[in-house]
Amino acid sequence: MGSFSRAKMTQWIIRHPWHTIVIWLVIFVSALPLTLNLSQQFRTDGLGVPGSPSQHVQNIVQKQFGTLANATATVVFYSPGRVNQPRYHQAIAHILASMHKVSGVKRVPSENQLTTSPDGHVIYGTIFFQQTTSNSLAATKAVKPLRNLLTKTPKGLQGGLTGLVPLERSFTAQVNKDLRTAEIWSFPLTLVALVWIFRSLIAPIGPLAIGFGGITVGLAGIDLIARVMAIAPEVEDAAAMIGLGVGIDYALLMVHRYRLARANHNAEASAQIAAATAGRAVVFSGSIVAGAFAVILLVDQPLMRSMALGSLAAVLATVIAALTLLPAILVILDRWLDWPRHHQRNTPTRWWQSWARRVMKRPGLGLSLSALFLVALALPIHSIKFWNPGVDTLPASSQTRKTYDLWLKHTFPGVGGPLWVVLRKPSGLYNQTSYHQIRHIQTVIKQQKDVHQVLPPLPALPAPAFHQNPPPMFHGTLSPSRTVFLLTVFPNSRAESQSTQGLVRRLRNLHYSSFKGQVLVGGGVAYTVDVIALILHWLPVVAFLIALTTMVLLFRLFHSVALAIKAVAMNFLSVLASSGLLVLIFQDGITAPFTGIHGVGAIDWTTPLILFSVLFGLSTDYEVFLLTRIMDYHQDHYPDREAIARGLADTGRIITGAALIMVTVFVAFGVIGLEFMQELGIGLGIAILLDATVVRLVLVPSIMRLLGRWNWWPGSADFPS
């Protein structure tokens, strides 16, 4: 949107503020039902990496073995005594038979197909649903009736359900619960912060309307997107948090600029000035955030694309609301904007003036100390590891997690994370030579570190056996075409552990030279390995494209190479410092005694790209806001030192205030959310806090003071320094 067309639009809004309010009320009322219905539109869990080895294995198993590739759940029966008692057999058999009748269920194990734990307290088996793994969300409707059946166990016997499909249901329910709780808490906390920043009870109305109204429209947009393409449930929390924080942040900057202009202009002129100055910063920042999420769409992974699309919709909605709805609100509320005070002082306080002078007096010291501090925070990033959070992300009270923990307690840690090793040979595998090779491969795999068990057992077979039909023990292992053989490998470690990821990599790197066919490793943990590899491949590409976009936009705004390069460098430093803190908090757990967040040994693989994208845009917002004021003084022929000091003093309070709002919103979502939301919320909160304080208030002005007239190269450098 060009500046001329935006100015004309703002002019119309200012002349017709009530028309604008009515239009937005109609939009809001229309969007509300879609927003409330959003959780019903999710159709994918976002799993899968198209073209990866794990996806290839999934496709082969689906084609050759059918139901084995479908979404699953594990039914678990537990007794404090022995579970294999005659009085339990009839109840278990009746429950399993009733499960066959539940809509969406494809296959239920019979009683004699269940596996008993070594200690005899647990018996369990796998339920297969009609949907494939990629459509597992559709199978979650069957979880409730299945659990209702498990309540009919006799005294002394407990029944539970865990595994992929129950996890998806519990996860979606938890996301909805967290979203409601976060919104309830973030509203009063944000209101208090806004009242403190503005020293007014009326001025916060605009930012709150933009934040909560904009995110309502944004979530409605996600609902519409979800009707034409598969969207994962994680997007709801992420989009709400990002959209709410961004919307309030943008609105706060515009309200502040309006109040500054109001000292010398009427309401209409002040709104025009705010839209032309702070509004420009909003457009540039929103463009960078939106561009960053658009770049993430290049990553061919359903969950990342879901989160990018949802966040993109939320950011666009809040930017449009800030540029259109907010000027109308400001004009209407103008006479009451400072209530209960009148004639609010919007000049810099003595503290900010003093701070600016101190930074200008010793720029070398400010640069050295702030840079060393951020570099020190970034150091732990060299040990960063990634994982795909599973059932452990759910609250301890969750039925899915309780059943899972009970299951593992009475069996072994890796029972919930089996791997598939697919052996494929177009010429056929059911012959003496191939079978000998398969047995050799199984032996090699059994000898690997962290392998608990490899199924099925492969006894020696006499040569005549291969001239007959395969024995029943090969059902579900040897494909009907006899060209694919499936080995199931159970690790010793939990599915989400780094050890199991290491096992996948070792199995893939083994030399199966004796086998004249193809060996592929798949399964849930193999997907984790593949998606981490995908993110590590795309992270530098996405970082480069976002950085390049940011530099181009900033150069277009300020016509300065130095300022564009500096801004990108500072953004990278903020991202690295906050990522280093995330490693310390969530991977290493060093803050556990104070926060209760225990390190899990890794970071959620979705965090880096989202953190990078959001922070680059928001950091640019603060950068543009600060540099615009500095440039104003620079163009008024102030010496560089004075221009920087005045610009810092003018914007310091509002930048830290905006950061406080962002941190409040992000931490409100992070503290109560699931693991991935905790990392994203707290990570963004830390990043914004560092960026708005150490970077914008110390590092940036120090660098600018040292650069002097080179700040504006290749523009005019005719001003005194």
Q: What is the CATH number of the domain that holds 263?
A: 1.20.1640.10
Given the structure tokens 């159970």, which residue do they identify? 490
Question: Which backbone phi and psi does 655 adopt, to 5 degrees?
Answer: -65, -45
Closest C-alpha among 148, 153, 151, 171 to residue 46: 171
Question: Which backbone phi and psi does 605 adopt, to 5 degrees?
Answer: -65, -20
Mean per-residue pLDDT over the chain, rounded: 88
Give pLDDT, residue 488: 96
Quick check: is 226 in a domain?
A: yes
Identity of residue 189: L
Give pLDDT, residue 3: 47
Query: Can you tell me whether residue 95 is helix, strand or coil?
Result: helix
Residue pair 601/387 in contact (Cβ under 8 Å)? The answer is yes
Residue pair 637/720 in contact (Cβ under 8 Å)? The answer is yes
Query: Can you tell me whether residue 131 is helix, strand or coil?
Result: strand
The answer to whether residues 216 and 318 belong to one domain is yes
The answer to whether residues 26 and 129 belong to one domain is no
Quick check: is 518 in a domain?
A: yes
Q: pLDDT digit string (tens) for 371-388?
A: 999 999 999 999 999 988
Query: Can you tell me whether residue 424 is helix, strand or coil?
Result: strand
What are 501's two structure tokens?
Answer: 């990821």
Give pLDDT, residue 53: 94
Give pLDDT, residue 717: 40
Quick check: is 304 in a domain?
A: yes
Q: Which residues of the chain have pLDDT under 70?
A: 1-4, 342-349, 673, 715-721
SS in 3 state form for 443-455? HHHHCCCCEEEEE
The answer to whether residues 208 and 323 belong to one domain is yes
Spatial CB neighbours of 590, under 8 Å, sequence gap ≥ 6: 584, 599
Spatial CB neighbours of 269, under 8 Å, sequence gap ≥ 6: 261
The answer to whether residues 215 and 335 belong to one domain is yes
Quick check: is 490 in a domain?
A: yes
Closest C-alpha among 309, 164, 178, 173 to residue 677: 178
Tally of domains within the chain: 3
Closest C-alpha among 386, 251, 234 to residue 309: 234
The parent domain of residue 231 ranges over: 1-36+199-343
The answer to whether residues 209 and 109 belong to one domain is no
Quick check: is 647 in a domain?
A: no
CATH assignment at residue 518: 3.30.70
d(CA 159, CA 146): 10
* The dihedral formed by the CA atoms of 86, 88, 93 and 98, expressed in degrees to the nearest 10: 160
The answer to whether residues 237 and 301 belong to one domain is yes
What are 99's two structure tokens?
Answer: 């499960």
Quick check: is 498 in a domain?
A: yes
Residue where a domain terminates, one of 479, 499, 528: 528
The answer to whether residues 286 and 158 belong to one domain is no
Q: Is the dihedral of CA 299, 58, 52, 481 positive or negative?
A: negative
CATH assignment at residue 112: 3.30.70.1320
The answer to whether residues 211 and 93 belong to one domain is no
Quick check: is 62 in a domain?
A: no
Closest C-alpha among 434, 382, 432, 392 to residue 413: 392
What are 278's two structure tokens?
Answer: 């702070």
Given the structure tokens 């899968």, which residue do they identify? 48
d(CA 640, CA 319): 32
The beta-strand segments (E) located in 37-116 are 70-78, 105-107, 115-116
The answer to whether residues 229 and 294 belong to one domain is yes
The answer to whether residues 228 and 333 belong to one domain is yes
What residues form DSSP beta bridges with 424? 484, 518
Quick check: is 293 in a domain?
A: yes
Residue where a domain terminates, one of 528, 548, 566: 528
Give pLDDT, residue 343: 57
DSSP symbol at 471: P
Q: Is 48 left (phi over 0), alpha (psi -120 to 50) or beta?
A: left
The answer to whether residues 311 and 210 belong to one domain is yes
Residue where a domain terminates, one of 528, 553, 573: 528
The answer to whether residues 122 and 7 belong to one domain is no
Residue pair 242/314 in contact (Cβ under 8 Å)? The answer is yes
